[in-house]
Amino acid sequence: MSDSTLHSTKVSLDPRFFSEKKRPFLESGALRASLFLYDSGVAAVQLENGVSELVMLPFQGQQIWSATFGGRNVTMKSMFDQPRPTSDYLQTYGGFLLHCGFTAMGVPTEEDDHPLHGELPNAVFQHAWLVSGEDEGGAYIGLGGRYQHTVAFADNYTATPLVKLYAGAKEVHVSLCCRNCKKTPMEYMYLAHANFKPVDGGRIVYSAKVSPQTVRVRRSIPGHISTGPEYLDFLDRLGERPEEHHLFDESMTFVPELVFSIDYDADDKGWAHTLQVHADGGADYVRHRPDQLPVGVRWICRTPDKDALGLVLPSTAEPEGKSAEIAKGNVRELEGGGEWRCDYVLGTLDAAEVGPVEEKIAEIG
């Protein structure tokens, strides 16, 4: 993925531009951006390319609240019909993509004082803008922004995400650049929490060797969920045979949730690949770069109220909270004035496109 452009336009957004009535704001051919407010008061941008549609929250974490590719809404089922104006992770959880981190990430333990998945998921962005242009990938429309996180005597960094929706595409290109504004080093963690909808009969295919050592089931139980002995037995079985979670059927409820940490392998261009292949031959698809995001977290939650597949959540660390990840040596350091960047792609494939990707995954393995 490259930021090189043949030409581009950038239009700054202001919260005063948004109202309850949706209205077109930027158009270029089939590419369109519309602005509106949810009843909750949260500002939203709808991006369209004639084939796919994203609804994003420009000032609240720059979340992708919902994603529809090729006419199919791929977003997880949740208890929220719209985003809520809060920074509390669990009080507005239902989006397709949430940026997690950056000073900390994961489920806090008793030794941690950071919020669940850090400050980025619902961060109040000080700046947001629409982009439209053309690069080597073709014509695109997108949303970007900048959030500055400053805590006296502690942290000072900027996070600048960018989402591009190309003309006619059934995928979205995401990048994030974070800059340490201090002159001294800072510790950082990041996880891209992308939440697809599981499909009964679907099978998961991915570019990793499958063994208990490389596809590790999480056995610790976060404090915000409750379990029974049958769940612990399930974890024991998957710990020995992780491949048993690759095929979904109606009997697999995954109550309350299932989490794996996966060591991915990349192709000759540096990309790792993950599919949820449907019974009709099509698939949900993620590709990411393990040199940027070395841990692939998989999160599955199938209950009567929630149905979600974190097919792969590309990450810098496992999601056990900052203290645990420091002990494992998974927390990275960004030098004073330094920048860190990641890139990944989320979307869907038609049946004819799935075969070549499966072949590539087989070649990597």
Distance (Å, whole) CA 276 – CA 283: 5
pLDDT tier at 223, thresholds 50, 70, 90:
low
Going by pLDDT thresholds of 50, 70 and 90, the confidence category of residue 222 is: low
- Segment 16-36, tens digit of pLDDT: 999 999 999 999 999 999 999
Higher-pLDDT residue of 152, 230? 152
DSSP 196: B
- Contacts of residue 170, defined as CB under 8 A and 6 or more positions apart, other chains included, come to 51, 52, 69, 70, 347, 348, 349, 350
Q: Is residue 200 within 8 Å of 253, Cβ to Cβ?
A: no
Q: How far apart are CA 240 and CA 217, in angstroms?
A: 9
Element (H, E) at 232: helix 229-240
- Find tokens 């979340």 and name the residue: 63
Contact assessment for residue 272 and residue 289, using Cβ atoms and an 8 Å cutoff: yes
pLDDT for 323-360, tens place per residue? 999 999 999 999 999 999 999 999 999 999 999 999 99
**Confidence grade of residue 3 (pLDDT, cut at 50, 70, 90):** low
Name the amino acid, one letter, at 151: V
Q: Which of 15-19, 118-122, 278-282, 302-306 has the lowest mean pLDDT?
A: 302-306
Residue whose C-alpha is closest to residue 264's, from 291, 236, 245, 246: 291
Q: How many other CB atoms sit within 10 Å of the CB of residue 255?
A: 18
Residue type, position 172, single letter: V
List of residues 6+ apart from 352 with CB closer than 8 A? none
pLDDT above 70: percentage of residues in the chain: 95
**Reported pTM:** 0.94
Instruction: Give dist(CA 349, CA 217) in Å, integer.
Output: 28
Q: Which residue has the tokens 């261009």?
A: 269
- The reported pLDDT for the residue numbered 5 is 63
User: Residue 252 has what pLDDT?
Assistant: 66
